[in-house]
Chains A and B, each alone.
Chain A
């Protein structure tokens, strides 16, 4: 990551807001230094950069999201790309080379898992690859965006004992520290994948128990989270063989999405239900 990029991004924000060099630099650095920094001729410490951003009322996170800083904070960019794939946006390219070398193998695996349907993920990886996913799940004492993404997409490759480990660690996350993030990088997103695995495997009681736990979490008051819970309930009903209840839930969910007026969300959900009904419907009777 070049200091030049950061300086240019800072300059872009400063001029966007209409602040002079003098105003932005006050109390932190000299005008001359700031000018040099913006031109990429000087580097700067994190603390000083934060102080400059304070002067122009911009958050550190906003600076890091500037298009000019394409490689800063690779994990944030990766979560954004995966979320775009999940939402069915077709102009996204998942590239594992954005990750640091030691994490690239796992990132590459998750990228492969992200573009196939959940049920296909189970047999997609070979033993060694599934082992990499498993090690990430067990080695991480702290579950944040990175591990949430690995669990979210790798859930189907995990043995039951490892799924328990993930469930336990996800239940320990301090949700007040997890402010709204992209769905796939959230604790809720990871847990919903774990529930889905139990449904597909026919572990009805386990799935019901996890769903109950999810309902109690504060994030479950978000509309998207409530919709996800109902989707999982519909899948669970289908897995139990209660097609009438499952179809009822499915139709009401689609009706709700239509009412909200987002055609893209509605179309995506229709395709999702078609696939799940195909996959689970066969098993429910077979």
Chain B
């Protein structure tokens, strides 16, 4: 079967979701929309007004998020489609290879038509190009977009974070700082989701700053993170942040290396207790690298 796959469309996906919920078209009459309207939408994507789409989804019931996530055929053009597609690729066993291929295809399309969105897509898939000259050109295009957008939405936070993998330079963060920290802290659904991406981006900045020895930027970023009102409540972020805090304390010449060491050991201990093997390995490697640097310094 899989009508959603044979006929990529909003309507086809809705039909697929409706059938998964075990709801018949005639059941939808209770939503105040005629069977004919539902049928036309499901088969032709025809003319479903947004107000009715919300009613139909609510009837299933499914969130807009679930609808979007179940629609692997959302046009890749859209950010939802792109995130969907990236999510599907990331869980494949050969994810890195697939993302690199997707990035290459996006760069080829960009070279052909010159539309920035394809370049941004390439960067979000797989970071920087190997060609140094091209990297400089791409950096300029990405910076132009990130600076031009007055207030970042989820798209810019994702683009920025991925661009830090080699397209952007760490110093570019200083120019973009006001955008990075400009998320409304009022507790709404929008801000909660946006803040999660903002924190992701800031943690990436912190990690890079420590890695490249820009301790001033690292300290500034850490303070910013610590002062954020936690509306997202993401415990994984907290663990990551404390790990970076420990690393910074050990590597920063102005830091308290012994306090950093103790914190790192406590975090490794906590990760072991929770059974997070990947985190134990990561933190242990960071501790070893920091100890090595301290040894060289002394």
Interface check A46, CB cutoff 8 A: yes
Find out whether the CB atom of A141 lies under 8 angstroms from the CB atom of B50: no
Find out whether the CB atom of B233 lies under 8 angstroms from the CB atom of A87: yes
Tell me the bound Cα distance from A202 to B64 in angstroms: 39
Q: Which residue of A lies closest to B234 (CB)?
A: A224
Find out whether the CB atom of A102 lies under 8 angstroms from the CB atom of B63: no
B126 to chain A, nearest CB (A): 19
**Chain A positions within 8 Å of B166 at CB level:** none
Interface check A61, CB cutoff 8 A: yes
B72 to chain A, nearest CB (A): 9
Find out whether the CB atom of A141 lies under 8 angstroms from the CB atom of B20: yes
Q: Is the interface of B mostly helix, strand, loop or mixed?
A: helix
Interface check B48, CB cutoff 8 A: yes
Interface check A116, CB cutoff 8 A: no
Interface check B22, CB cutoff 8 A: yes
Find out whether the CB atom of A261 lies under 8 angstroms from the CB atom of B238: yes
Within 8 A of B (CB), among A7-61: 13, 15-18, 43-47, 49-51, 53-54, 57-61
Within 8 A of A (CB), among B254-286: 266-267, 270, 273-276, 278-279
Interface check A213, CB cutoff 8 A: no
Q: Which residue of A lies closest to B72 (CB)?
A: A177
Q: Which residue of A lies closest to B236 (CB)?
A: A223
Tell me the bound Cα distance from A87 to B192 in angstroms: 14
Within 8 A of B (CB), among A46-100: 46-47, 49-51, 53-54, 57-62, 64-67, 72-77, 79-80, 84, 87, 89, 99-100
Tell me the bound Cα distance from A54 to B83 in angstroms: 12
**Chain B positions within 8 Å of A6 at CB level:** 50-51
**Chain B positions within 8 Å of A64 at CB level:** 64
A123 to chain B, nearest CB (A): 28
Find out whether the CB atom of A222 lies under 8 angstroms from the CB atom of B188: no
**Chain A positions within 8 Å of B153 at CB level:** 13, 16-17, 57-58, 62
Q: Which residue of B lies closest to A220 (CB)?
A: B275
Interface size class of B (residues with CB under 8 A): 35 or more
Find A3's partner among B51, B150, B238 (CB 8 Å cutoff).
B51
Interface check A140, CB cutoff 8 A: yes
Known contacts: A67-B190, A261-B238, A262-B235. The answer to whether A75 contacts B58 by CB under 8 A is yes
B156 to chain A, nearest CB (A): 8
Find out whether the CB atom of B50 lies under 8 angstroms from the CB atom of A100: no
Interface check B177, CB cutoff 8 A: no
Find B49's partner among A44, A61, A75, A84 (CB 8 Å cutoff).
A44
Interface check A221, CB cutoff 8 A: yes
Q: Which residue of B lies closest to A76 (CB)?
A: B63
Within 8 A of A (CB), among B76-119: 77-80, 83, 87-88, 91, 117
Interface check A142, CB cutoff 8 A: yes
Find out whether the CB atom of A75 lies under 8 angstroms from the CB atom of B61: yes
Find out whether the CB atom of B20 lies under 8 angstroms from the CB atom of A142: yes
Query: Which of A187-195, A252-260, A272-280 has 4 or more CB atoms under 8 Å from chain B?
Result: A252-260
Known contacts: A73-B57, A141-B21. The answer to whether A57 contacts B49 by CB under 8 A is no
Q: Which residue of B lies closest to A60 (CB)?
A: B80
Interface check A131, CB cutoff 8 A: no
Find out whether the CB atom of A54 lies under 8 angstroms from the CB atom of B189: no
Find out whether the CB atom of A45 lies under 8 angstroms from the CB atom of B151: no
Find out whether the CB atom of B50 lies under 8 angstroms from the CB atom of A16: no
Interface check B296, CB cutoff 8 A: no
**Chain A positions within 8 Å of B236 at CB level:** 222-224
Tell me the bound Cα distance from A17 to B108 in angstroms: 28
Known contacts: A60-B64, A67-B188, A103-B61. The answer to whether A176 contacts B87 by CB under 8 A is yes
Tell me the bound Cα distance from A179 to B88 in angstroms: 10
Known contacts: A226-B275, A227-B235. The answer to whether A62 contacts B267 by CB under 8 A is no
Known contacts: A62-B154, A67-B188, A100-B59. The answer to whether A223 contacts B233 by CB under 8 A is no
Known contacts: A57-B153, A75-B62, A259-B270. The answer to whether A45 contacts B49 by CB under 8 A is yes
**Chain B positions within 8 Å of A112 at CB level:** none
Interface check B212, CB cutoff 8 A: no
Find out whether the CB atom of B80 lies under 8 angstroms from the CB atom of A146: no
Interface check A265, CB cutoff 8 A: yes
Find B22's partner among A142, A229, A260, A262 (CB 8 Å cutoff).
A142
Find out whether the CB atom of A45 lies under 8 angstroms from the CB atom of B63: no
Find out whether the CB atom of B58 lies under 8 angstroms from the CB atom of A100: yes
**Chain B positions within 8 Å of A50 at CB level:** 10, 74-75, 78, 80
B289 to chain A, nearest CB (A): 21
**Chain A positions within 8 Å of B75 at CB level:** 50-51, 54
Find out whether the CB atom of A3 lies under 8 angstroms from the CB atom of B235: no
A61 to chain B, nearest CB (A): 5
Find out whether the CB atom of B58 lies under 8 angstroms from the CB atom of A53: no
**Chain A positions within 8 Å of B20 at CB level:** 141-142
Tell me the bound Cα distance from A81 to B48 in angstroms: 29
Find B91's partner among A2, A176, A252 (CB 8 Å cutoff).
A176
Top 9 closest pairs, chain A to chain B, by CB: A18-B150, A65-B190, A57-B155, A226-B274, A65-B189, A142-B20, A223-B236, A223-B235, A16-B151
5 contacts between A and B (CB under 8 A): A16-B151, A46-B49, A51-B78, A177-B69, A223-B238
Starting from the known contacts A51-B77, A260-B239, 20 additional A-B residue pairs (CB-CB under 8 Å) come to A3-B51, A46-B53, A53-B79, A57-B79, A57-B149, A58-B155, A59-B68, A59-B78, A59-B155, A76-B64, A100-B31, A100-B58, A103-B61, A141-B20, A179-B69, A185-B63, A223-B239, A230-B273, A261-B238, A264-B230
